[in-house]
């Protein structure tokens, strides 16, 4: 299975996503990468059953101009609506709060985070996207979110001394699927066995693997 990955921004270098997804390559996944989104166009999405967005709305790590224009954001709802999947990881939820079509598609957007601290990630027992996962605590950025869709299927929470937040949710949009995971600032989080299992579960579901149970449909 091949997926497209958009990554690299000022605060989240591409090397973290590349190293964090490398174990999945050993499990049969292949990834094509966009780090410099300066020349991005909607055509780049064609042919991929799933796209991973782990890129803040920065063109590159050294160019903080927005890469996703107000016009370009319409490509993603169209892509998902045609039966494809979007997996949003950590910084992929940041910088899009003023892109209403993208924010609606994701079911919310990043609001803020306190300084890095111990964060406990708790999967929802029995949920297919949390299969093979257990709770763990690691130092991370604890994302606080604008959770716009009360019907989103929340399967993961994250708690710290600052409170508790939804940390993973799934939505069905048209014929396609959207999954959002907020943990993942540090490579140690990506490489934790439970998070690796969750990444693969989410990616397979987003790509339309029918062996995974479908989460509850989202209300548009």
- Sign of the C-alpha dihedral computed for residues 103, 38, 143 and 170 taken in this order: positive
Confidence of residue 212 (pLDDT cuts 50, 70, 90): very low
Buried b (16+ CB within 10 A) or exposed e, 19-40: ebbeebeeeebebeebbebeeb
Asked if 151 contacts 162 with a C-beta cutoff of 8 angstroms, the reply is no
Calculate mean pLDDT across residues 145-167. Answer: 98
Class of domain 2-206: alpha beta
**pLDDT tens per residue, range 105-114:** 999 999 999 9
Please state the separation of Cα 162 from the chain's center in Å.
Answer: 22
At 107-133, the pLDDT tens digits run 999 999 999 999 999 999 999 999 999
Q: What is the pTM of this model?
A: 0.94
Provide the percentage of residues in the chain whose pLDDT is more than 70: 95
pLDDT range class, residue 216, cuts 50, 70, 90: very low
What's the confidence (pLDDT) of residue 209? Answer: 82
Q: Across all residues in the chain, what is the average pLDDT?
A: 94
With 0-12 CB in 10 A as exposed, 13-18 as middle and 19+ as buried, what is 42? Answer: middle
pLDDT, tens only, 76-113? 999 999 999 999 999 999 999 999 999 999 999 999 99
pLDDT tier, 39 (very low <50, low <70, confident <90, very high otherwise): confident
């Amino acid at each position: 299975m091949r997926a497209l990955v958009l990554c690299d921004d000022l605060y989240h270098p591409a090397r973290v996503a590349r190293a964090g997804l490398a174990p999945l390559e050993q499990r049969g996944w292949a990834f094509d990468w966009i780090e410099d989104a300066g020349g991005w166009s909607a055509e780049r999405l064609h042919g991929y059953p799933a796209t991973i967005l782990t890129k803040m709305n920065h063109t590159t790590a050294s160019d903080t101009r927005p890469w996703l224009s107000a016009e370009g954001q319409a490509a993603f709802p169209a892509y998902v609506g045609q039966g494809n999947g979007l997996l949003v990881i950590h910084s992929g939820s940041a910088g899009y709060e003023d892109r209403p079509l993208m924010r609606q598609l994701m079911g919310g957007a990043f609001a803020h985070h306190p300084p890095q601290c111990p964060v406990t990630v708790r999967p929802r027992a029995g949920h297919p996207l949390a299969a093979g996962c257990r709770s763990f605590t690691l130092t991370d950025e604890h994302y606080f979110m604008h959770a716009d869709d009360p019907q989103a299927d929340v399967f993961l929470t994250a708690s710290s001394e600052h409170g508790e937040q939804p940390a993973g949710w799934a939505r069905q949009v048209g014929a396609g699927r959207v999954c959002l995971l907020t943990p993942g600032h540090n490579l140690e989080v990506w490489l934790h066995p439970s998070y690796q299992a969750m990444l693969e579960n989410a990616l397979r579901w987003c790509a339309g693997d029918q062996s995974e149970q479908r989460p509850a449909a989202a209300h548009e």
